Structure formats: structure tokens, C-alpha cells
Structure 1
Amino acid sequence: MPASDAAFAAALRAPVTMPEDLDPLEQFFQRPEVSAFHARARDAGQADASLRTCAALLPSLHPGRAAAVALMCGSLVEDGADPAILFPVLLGLLRQWLHTLSPYCAQEVEDDDDEVEEVDRQAWLDARSRMADVPADRRWEVEALHQAADLLVLPMMTMALRDRGNHAALVSDAELMSLLHPMATSNDSLPFENLHYLWLASQLGYEDELVVVLPASMTGFVARAHAVNNNFHAFTLLQIIIGEHARSLDVQREIAAREPDQDGDTADFQWLQADAYANGELVNAMRFAWGEASLRHNVSRHGKRVLIALETDEGMKRNWSGFNGAMHEAQQPSMTFTRHLTPEEVASYLV
């Protein structure tokens, strides 16, 4: 191990027994051992090796220092280092840290709210009680872990949105996902500033072959979806494609012009799940493809996610806003037309 790496590891493994042992971020990056390590990591061809050094080191560090090091590593990934090297370690750290913090997290319940579920009321009371039971001279440890978890989100976003394997690992981590949703979206007792971004990232859709069927014309196409926020976002992007291929898809209605990242949009079609159809007939016009859902939650047929674009003036039509923008510069959402479906394929998706 190079001397600078050894000095870096030794300095960061120093015991943390009081709040003063943890440097603010600006001071942390100014530490000689840290700045020397970072300078060497930025040498040509050195970044990936430095990330591997950090991958071995991080689990032994205090969370406050581990999160700071991860943030530094995120900057290396932004400059082109391999995003897959460190992500599994960060995934494990966040899972562990959120598990430790989860007893202190609950959604607020008003004392005089008679309509709230008793289990939710008790969860709120329990979370507050557990925090009150933490000795005053140890409260800083919970606060430091809380801050570390929120900081860790930033490099994780950088890595998850630059590598589909990382994103797949995130959404397949059932334990982490079960913690992430309530702690990011329904947590008033120990709120996070950044955690909801990772929850939003977990909802992004990646489909190499997303099938869209238009029953009115018995046509359809296959598209490739990359980093799409949710179904609402997908509808906008797919309606752009339908407008561009309206003639070959034999679409009779006028398709509104729209931009991929516009703030709001409306439905040109009634968007349904594949099982709204059976034996070529519409059997459940209320089987909607809900806009807030992730692409991966849509029904599959023949091993592919399917959306039905029903060309009708009847039924519910929806407006939406705030779903079409990218949450991170590395997201780069897109929907790409791949090919038309054959008539036989269209029929097979409506059986």
C-alpha cells in the first residue's frame, strides 16, 4: 500500500469518542492525509485503484468519516471513475445505518386526531420515547449517524444513475427498500433532507423492450426506456413517439406537440394495463396504468412490460405536472423507438 494510502487509513481510523473528533466537511477535506489521498486519486489512471482502497476501508470507519470519504469518491466517479466499484459497500452501509435509525422515525400524529390508526399513533409515541431515552451526552451519536446517512445519499445517487447494475442492486435490496420508503416519505420525528432523492431514484424505469399497443388501429411498437421517472413521464415520452410515427401507426386523432421535460402534460390516450384485454377484447376499461407507478410495476406479457394506448374520447383522462424533469444530471431520461410490432405480435399482446 502506498504511504499516502496507509497514512490516510490510519488517520481516519482514529477513535471517535466525542463530537469534536468529527471534522466539518470543509475541514475534513483539508486534512493533509485526505488532501494527499485525493490528489493521488486524481492522477491519471489512479482513480479506480483509489476507489478499491476506499471500498476496503469504509466499513471500518465512523459513519461521519465514511460518508465524507464516499462523497469524495463520488466526485471521482463524476470525473469518470468506475461507478460500480464502491456502490455495493455504500448500499450495505446505508442499509445498516437506516436500520439503526429506524426506531427513531415515524410520521407525526396529532394528539386530537381521532381518525388516525392506533398503530400509527403508537409508532409516533414510540419513536419520540426512544429518542427521549437516549442519554443527553450520547445524543450526538444519533445525530452524527443521521447526518452521515443523509450525506451518503449524494454519492449513491451519482453512482446509481451512472450504472444500471447499481440501480438494479438498489431496487432488489428488499430490506433497504422497506426502510427507505417510510423513512424518506413518512418520517417527521427524524426527517432527512436527501433521502427522498434515493427513493425517487429507486423508482426509475429501465426497460430494453417496452411494448406499446394501440388497439384502435391494431398497431404498436417497441421502445427502449432509460431512467424514466414513472408512468406519467413514460406517457409523455411515448406520446411524442406516437406523434412522430402517427402515420405508420395509423393513429386517427391529432397528437399534441410536447417536449420531453415539460412541466405538465395531458393524456392523448387512455393508458391501460395489458390485462385490460382478453381474447382481443376490452374486458376492463378501468384497468388503468397509474401514472405514479414505476414502469417495472406494469403488467408483463411474453416477458415484456406492456402498455395499452386506447384511442378513445370516453373514460377518464388525466393531467399531470412535475413528473417529467430529471432529478440529477446523470439521469438523462429517454424513450427511444426501436421497431413497429407486426400484426401477429399486436394480436398476441391482446389475448
Structure 2
Amino acid sequence: MNGKERFVAFLQQPSTLQELREGQEIFRAKEIQDYLYFVRDPDTALREMAPLLNTIDGFHAGALALLCGSRVENGGDVSIPLDATLTLMIRQLEQAFSYQKVCRELSDEELIQHFPEATQAHYGLPYTLLAAMTMLSRDVQARQQLQQRQDVRKLINELEELSSDYETLYYIKEALALLDNKELLVLDPTNERGFLTRLVGVQDRMYHCYALLQHAILEHTGPGYLNADPTVPDAVRYAQNRDLTRDDYQSLKDIHDYQRFSFCYPAVSRSEDGHYSFEPLGFFPGSASFYDNPAVALYDPPVILIGEKFMTFNWTPSNMYPVLHSALNSSVEIIRELSSEEVQNWLQKLSQRNKSPH
């Protein structure tokens, strides 16, 4: 047999209990090392490995998924293994859930004998989750599709409640909560301007949105808009996860940021002279979820108001929105600035809503 045939034959053998217990030692197997040595082109390796992911046992499949993830990290085409990896991940989540229901009552020997697939999936799932995160970080569309899977969300939440065995589950849960291709309308009643924005890869804590949004607005309007301080380049780079090195992750760990505007709920009042104002104390908390804004349910797109800052809120980016993966970029871009007529229509709509007893 040649190297590829030995590699495939090795993976197609059922995982033994000893293999499961040894964990990462599988990556030292001669069959794996030889294959990786001779197949250097990432896409070639991915085209050969991806079709095997859902044909072999759960532990070997998890290890293989991680090998696929490493090829993607080395420049391989993420589209080659992505679908197969996500299919594997969902199946392993289900099997790991089954494993957790019985694992406390049986020995390892009994588990592998009576529940081999669930046991193998339990040991392979952490590798699969890492691989899936590597791939999802690079594909916005795939994230959006998975975010629509309420069954997957439910399964992840239930598995997380049932067991703390899968630390890497946190990253997939965060990926499913990312704000991807979400539009947000930003209105400035003071200057009667409006900005339609798009959020991509933004963590579902408004501090992350604010860090990116205030930078985008100041770049669009020019410095000093609403008497705002300029943003700090390193804080912006961290929020975007742009061009960060290993040293940057360490040196920026304790950096602080703060809001340049007041970010408020969409409630405005119209004075007799026709000018609009809003309550600056109606600050939309930075620790809140995007979906805590009532405008998400009321308006399409959701609306948030900005005005001159009247008090300062500080936050630590590494605490509020830690980098989830080096390949996961985050952005808020201004799609367009609204016309004066559009802004007036929106402000009128908000003021009428504010008057309504409902």
C-alpha cells in the first residue's frame, strides 16, 4: 500500500479504548505523519480527507476534522471540508448528548462495548469543534446558515448544561450568536443625520458594536463629530481583530476603550419649533444584547440613536469581546447615509411612537 492507502486504512479501523484514552497521541501515528509529510498541498489533502469525515468512527473523524482545520489554517480552501465538518459536528453533538446520559453509570470498558459510537463521538467532538470554529470563522454565509438552525442551538445549550466536558463548545456557541450581515440604522436627531450600517462578525454585546460603530461614523463624518474624541487605533484594531500578532494579543489584553457618543434607545420628542431631541439618560447598555433593543422587533432595520456624550462608560475589550479566533474579522460599515427626507420620516415615526400610549 502507498502512503495514502495506509492513511485511509488506519482511519477506517475502529478506535480502541486505548486510543481514546491516549487522546492527542493519535496525531503521532506513523500513518498520519507519513501522509502529511508527502501530501504538502493543502487543497489536495483536503480533497482527499474531507470525503472520509462521515464514513469513519467518531474519534478518528474528530482527529481527521482537526487535520482538515490545520490545512485550512495553512491556506487551504475552506469550502472543501466545511459542509462535511459541520455535518460531522452536528451528529457528534447528538451522540455526545447520548453519551452524557449514561457515562456516569458505566465503566469505560462498558461504554465502548455497549455505546461505541457515542463514546467515540465524545472523545472526538472537542477536535471537531475546533475544526468547525476554524472554518466558520472564515465563512460568513456558513455561519448565517448555521445560526438559523434552532435545533443545533438547542442541542448545544442542552449539552452545555448537561456536562462541562466540552470547553471548546463555548466558541461554537459564540459563533452562533455573532451578528452577521445585520443592518442597524443609526440616527442623530441633533444634526438630523442618519447612517445605515451593516454588522459582520460582531459579538452580541453592544460594547463590541459601539467600538466598531463609533470608528466607522467618525471616519465617515470626519473628526470632532458631535464633539467626539478620536478613536484609539489599537482599540479599533482589537475590535476588528485586524492584523493582530501573538504579541498584540498579549500587549492589548489590558487596553481600555470608551464610548465617543451617547448610544440611546429610539425614542425622540419633537418641539414646537420642529426640532427633535431625545433623552440622553435612555442609554442603551453596552453589556446588553443587540436583541435587547426593542427596536429590533419594532422596526426594520432596528434603530439606535446617537448624540453628544454626556457621561463616560469605559470597558476592557478583552473582557467584553475577547478574540474568538484569529481568522474571525469583525466590522461595522456604513452602507449609505440617509437623505434628509428619509431622516425626517424616521424621526417623525419615532416621535409619533413615543407619543403613543402603546
TM range (shorter): 0.7 to 0.9
Number of residue-to-residue matches in the alignment: 317
Alignment of 1:220-299 (within 5 A): 220-230=194-204, 231-245=206-220, 251-255=225-229, 257-258=231-232, 259-260=235-236, 261=238, 263-272=255-264, 276=267, 288=284, 291-294=287-290, 299=296
Unaligned 5+ runs, structure 2: 239-251, 271-275, 350-358
Out of 23, 28, 31, the position equivalent to 2:29 is: 31
Aligned to 1:97: 92
- Partner of residue 332, structure 2: 335
The answer for the alignment partner of 1:116 in structure 2 is none
Q: After TM superposition, give the deviation of residue 159 of structure 1 in Å.
A: 0.5
Q: Which segment is superposed worse, 51-60 or 254-263?
A: 254-263
1:201 pairs with 2:182: no
CA contact (8 A) 1:272 1:308 kept: yes
Query: Contact between 2:228 and 2:261, CA under 8 Å: does it hold in 1?
Result: no
* Counterpart check, 1:87 vs 2:79: no
Rounded Cα–Cα distance in structure 1 between residues aligned with 2:269 and 2:128: 47
Equivalent of 1:166 in 127, 142, 145: 142
Greater Cα offset, 32-41 or 151-160: 32-41
How far, CA to CA, are the matches of 1:216 and 1:300 in structure 2? 25
Counterpart position of 1:13: 12
2:89, 2:132 within 8 Å by CA — same for their partners in 1? no
Question: Compared with structure 1, are the counterparts of its residues 332 and 190 closer, same or farther at alpha carbon in structure 2 (3 Å cutoff)?
Answer: closer
Q: Equivalent residue for 2:189?
A: 215
Deviation at 1:6, TM superposition (A): 3.5
- Structure 1 vs Structure 2 CA RMSD: 3.7
Instruction: Report the residue type matching 1:158 in the other structure.
Output: T
**Residue deviations 1:280-337, cap 9 Å, x none?**
88699869476442579872788545432244649xx754432244221101223334
1:73 CA displacement: 0.8
Contact 2:144–2:180 (CA under 8 A) maintained in structure 1:
no
Question: For residues 55-74 of structure 1, what are the structure 2 equivalents within 5 Å?
Answer: 55-74=50-69
1:196: how far off? 0.4
Give deviations 1:110-132, integer Å, cap 9, x for gaps.
xxxxxxxxxxxxxxxxx6xx443
Pairing 1:299-338 to 2, within 5 Å after superposition: 299=296, 304-311=301-308, 313=310, 319-321=314-316, 322-338=319-335
Q: d(CA) in 1 for partners of 2:8 and 2:269?
A: 62
Q: 1:103 to 1:347 in 2, by over 3 A?
A: farther
Q: Does the Cα contact within 8 Å between 1:104 and 1:190 map onto a contact in 2?
A: no
From 119, 127, 133, the equivalent of 2:105 is 133
From the superposition, tell whether residues 208 and 171 of structure 1 become closer, same or farther in structure 2 (CA, over 3 Å). closer
- 1:80 alignment partner AA: G
Structure 1 residue 19, shift from structure 2 partner:
0.8
1:247 is displaced (CA, Å) by 5.6
Instruction: Quickly say closer, same or farther: Cα 1:131–1:62, change in 2 above 3 A.
Output: same
Query: TM-score when scaled to structure 1?
Result: 0.74
More displaced stretch, 53-62 vs 137-146: 137-146
What are the Cα deviations for residues 39-91 of structure 1, in whole angstroms up to 9, with x where unaligned?
Answer: 34423xxx334323323211121211111111111111112211122222222
Contact 2:257–2:315 under 8 Å retained in 1: yes
